[in-house]
């Protein structure tokens, strides 16, 4: 599983990455994390706002902070 956090590295982006890493660890999933900060790369996805969470090239959320349980549901 490849998980991408799209965002400039702001506090919300970092928090989304932290929550997602915690969810992955709790579920025991093997995942590779990438934090995409390049605006051209971010604009390649159908997102208007960051932070955004992309799981295996599928955008799960953009522009808001999901809860850990919501993230877990997207990962299973």
Catalytic residues: 10, 13
SS3 8: coil
Q: How many angstroms separate the Cα of 72 from the Cα of each of 48, 60, 64? A: 23, 11, 16
d(CA 6, CA 14): 10
């Amino acid at each position: 599983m490849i998980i991408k956090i799209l965002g400039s590295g702001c506090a919300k982006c970092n928090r989304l990455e932290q929550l997602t890493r915690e969810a992955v660890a709790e579920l025991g999933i093997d995942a590779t994390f990438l934090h995409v900060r390049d605006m051209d790369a971010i604009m390649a996805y159908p997102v208007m706002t960051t932070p955004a969470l992309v799981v295996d090239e599928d955008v799960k959320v953009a522009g808001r902070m999901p809860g850990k349980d919501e993230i877990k549901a997207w990962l299973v």
